[in-house]
């Protein structure tokens, strides 16, 4: 199944809905990226940095105790939490910052929600010697103070964004505004597989290393492809990266888990694939949370990386065509899963990844014994400990877990 139906289009989704000022920059980026992809030297350069610096490939870890607990499919964890900076985000920023350098850009801007993309961008900029400015919602600056410190320590300038809901969507608006005014020499590193064409394609391509590794590692570990791969979805970069290489393998179930927040009925969630309608946000047509007048509704999730009211256009297309199964997990379920994975596997997953874990138990039981389930552990939970600790640490957790 070819998901890209035309340049920049995934079925009805995708496109390039931006101010005219940005269009020439996006055309330039599209061309530069096409040339870079044809250049084996660029590919080798990216691969080398991923190997030597990021620590790829990341392991595929058997989750023996979760497997035992859930009494279903054998559970495997793709350990993006072990990538340098602690999340999958680094795969994309290494690629894009190298692309920016190749294009002769003088400085880098980025937006960030949970801060993982901001940290990953700041890291790549430090490594390659480019100045970096990160836009972050003021609410997120508060709840992700560890990552704010990390960005600053890495030499990046962090701009708190005070408009709108003061979270990721507003940080993205602000980054776009700044980009419009400095488009000649500035490269905007988008962190999710969203935004105007060609970003959804670029981010997906740089993140697809996750799914390619899952393929080869599965063949080595259990001699065949997994029966299902599950990942959390905010904007969707870890999900599209883990899932895209399996789109053509019909026997592999692809499952995405969105932020259910306080519950789908509460109106406070980030479930744009489940409850969103077609619209245009941040330069692409996709499924978005909006009211009947076309105003974007603020998303909610305990996880700063998932409270985004949009989703990448390719995931919207995969969901609409039925190739991607979409589920949700509430804040409470994600928290429970966080402790479950921490205490059964010795891994503190990011709250984003905890959403995937929250649905992984059901899926493992559905699949049943003798099957193999891969959970994308997209990032580590260190950044979230303040949020989680504030709710009090439970002495024990239910054995059924998530």
Partner 1 sequence: MSGEIAEAFARARARGEGALVAYAMAGDPDLPGSVDVFAACVEGGADILEIGVAFSDPIADGPVIQGASERALKAGSTLKRVLDEVVPAVRARCPQTPLVVMTYVNVVMAMGEERYAKLARERGVSGTILPDLPPEESTGIRVAFDKEGLELIPLCAPTTSPTRAESIAKDARGFVYCVSVAGVTGMRSELPANLSERLELVRRLSPVPVVAGFGISNAEQARVVGAHADGVVVGSAIVRAAQADGPAAARQVCADIKRGLKR
The residues carrying an active-site annotation are: 89, 111, 378
Name residue, tokens 């560890």.
146
Q: How far is the CB of 23 from partner 1 (least distance, A)?
A: 5
* Tokens of residue 378, six digits: 């997209």
Q: Which of 192, 237, 290, 354 binds partner 1 (CB under 8 A)?
A: 290
Minimum CB distance to partner 1, residue 33 (Å):
17
| Selected binder of partner 1 within 86, 283, 312, 379 (CB under 8 A) | 283
> What is the helix, strand, coil percentage profile of the chain, to 5?
50, 20, 35
**373 is written with which tokens?**
């389930």
Would you count residue 19 as binding partner 1 (CB under 8 A)? yes
Place of tokens 């979805």: 233
Encoding tokens for residue 39? 């250049």
Beta bridge partners of 107: 186
Distance in Å, CB of 136 to partner 1, minimum: 17
Compute the least distance from the CB of residue 171 to partner 1, in Å. 11
d(CA 216, CA 234): 26
Task: Measure Cα distances from 234 to 82, 90, 239, 315, 345 in Å.
Answer: 20, 17, 9, 10, 24
Exactly one of 2, 38, 265, 293 binds partner 1 (CB under 8 A); which one?
A: 293
Please write down the HEC assignment for all residues of 57-94.
CCCEEECHHHHHHHCCCEEEEEEHHHCHHHECHHHHHH
- Check binding of 280 to partner 1 (CB under 8 A): yes
Binding status of residue 23 toward partner 1 by CB under 8 A: yes
Helix (H, G, I), strand (E, B) or coil at 185: coil
Kindly state whether residue 138 participates in binding partner 1, applying the rule CB under 8 A: no
Q: What is the DSSP letter of 295?
A: P
| Token code pair at residue 22 | 């940005």
CB of 350 to partner 1, least distance (A): 26
Query: To the nearest whole angstrom, how small is the minimum distance from the Cβ of residue 305 to partner 1?
Result: 19
Between the CA of residue 294 and those of 169, 174, 279, what are the distances in Å?
15, 20, 8
- Taking CB under 8 A as the criterion, the residue among 145, 163, 251, 321 binding partner 1 is 163
Should residue 166 be labelled a site residue for partner 1 when binding is judged by CB under 8 A? no
141 binds partner 1 (CB under 8 A): no
**Residue closer to partner 1, measured from CB, 28 or 43:** 28
Q: Could you give the 3-state DSSP secondary structure of residue 329?
A: strand
* 337 lies in the binding site for partner 1 (CB under 8 A): no
By CB under 8 A, name the one of 10, 25, 148, 244 that touches partner 1.
25
Q: Torsion angle, CA of 114/382/158/131, rounded to 10 degrees? A: -110
Site for partner 1 in 295-324 (CB under 8 A): 295-296
Q: How far is the CB of 102 from partner 1 (least distance, A)?
A: 20
* Residue 281 interacting with partner 1 (CB under 8 A): yes
Cis amide bond preceding 19, omega within 30: no
Closest alpha carbon to 200 in 63, 31, 315: 315
The yes or no reply on residue 270 touching partner 1 (CB under 8 A) is no
**Window of 146-154, 200-208, 252-260, 292-300 that interacts with partner 1 by CB under 8 A:** 292-300
Beta strands 74-79 and 60-62 are antiparallel
Tell me the C-alpha to C-alpha distance, in Å, between residue 204 and each of 116, 235, 259: 17, 11, 21
Number of residues binding to partner 1, judged by CB under 8 A: 36
Q: Which is nearer to partner 1, 117 or 169 (CB)?
A: 169
The residue (of 110 and 183) whose beta carbon lies closer to partner 1 is 183
Choose, by CB under 8 A, the member of 2, 52, 265, 292 that binds partner 1: 292
Interaction site with partner 1 (CB under 8 A):
15-25, 163-164, 169-170, 173, 176-177, 180-184, 278-283, 288, 290, 292-296
């Amino acid at each position: 199944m070819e998901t890209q139906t035309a340049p920049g289009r995934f079925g009805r989704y995708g496109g390039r809905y931006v101010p005219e000022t940005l269009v020439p920059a996006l055309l330039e980026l599209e061309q530069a990226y096409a040339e870079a992809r044809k250049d084996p030297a660029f590919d080798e350069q990216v691969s080398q940095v991923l190997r030597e610096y990021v620590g790829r490939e990341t392991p595929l870890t058997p989750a023996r105790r979760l497997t035992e607990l859930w009494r279903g499919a054998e559970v495997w964890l793709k350990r993006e939490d072990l990538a340098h900076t602690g999340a999958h985000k680094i795969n994309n920023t290494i690629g894009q910052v190298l692309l920016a350098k190749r294009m002769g850009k003088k400085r880098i801007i980025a937006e960030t929600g949970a801060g993982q993309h901001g940290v990953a961008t700041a890291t790549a900029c430090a490594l390659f010697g480019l100045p970096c400015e990160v836009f972050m919602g003021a609410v997120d600056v508060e709840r992700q103070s560890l990552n704010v410190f990390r960005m600053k320590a890495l030499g990046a300038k962090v701009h708190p964004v005070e408009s709108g809901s003061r979270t990721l969507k507003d940080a993205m608006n602000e980054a776009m505004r700044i980009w419009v005014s400095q488009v000649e020499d500035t490269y905007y590193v988008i962190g999710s597989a969203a935004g105007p064409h060609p970003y959804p394609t670029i981010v997906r391509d740089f993140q697809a290393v996750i799914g390619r590794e899952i393929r080869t590692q599965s063949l080595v570990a259990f001699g065949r492809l997994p029966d299902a791969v599950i990942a959390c979805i905010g904007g969707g970069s870890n999900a599209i990266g883990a899932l895209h290489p399996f789109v053509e393998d019909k026997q592999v179930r692809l499952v995405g888990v969105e932020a259910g927040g306080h519950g789908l009925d509460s109106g406070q969630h980030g479930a744009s694939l489940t409850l969103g309608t077609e619209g245009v946000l941040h330069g692409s047509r996709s499924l978005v949370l909006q009211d009947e007048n076309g105003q974007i509704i603020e998303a909610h999730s305990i996880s700063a990386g998932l409270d985004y009211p949009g989703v990448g256009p390719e995931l919207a297309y995969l969901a609409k065509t039925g190739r991607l199964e979409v589920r949700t997990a509430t804040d409470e379920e994600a928290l429970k899963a966080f402790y479950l994975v921490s205490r059964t596997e010795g891994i503190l997953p990011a709250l984003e990844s905890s959403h995937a874990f929250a649905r992984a138990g059901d899926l493992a039981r559905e699949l049943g014994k003798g099957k193999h389930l891969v959970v994308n552990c997209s990032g580590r939970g260190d950044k979230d400990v303040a949020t989680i600790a504030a709710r009090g640490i439970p002495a024990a957790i239910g054995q059924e877990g998530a």
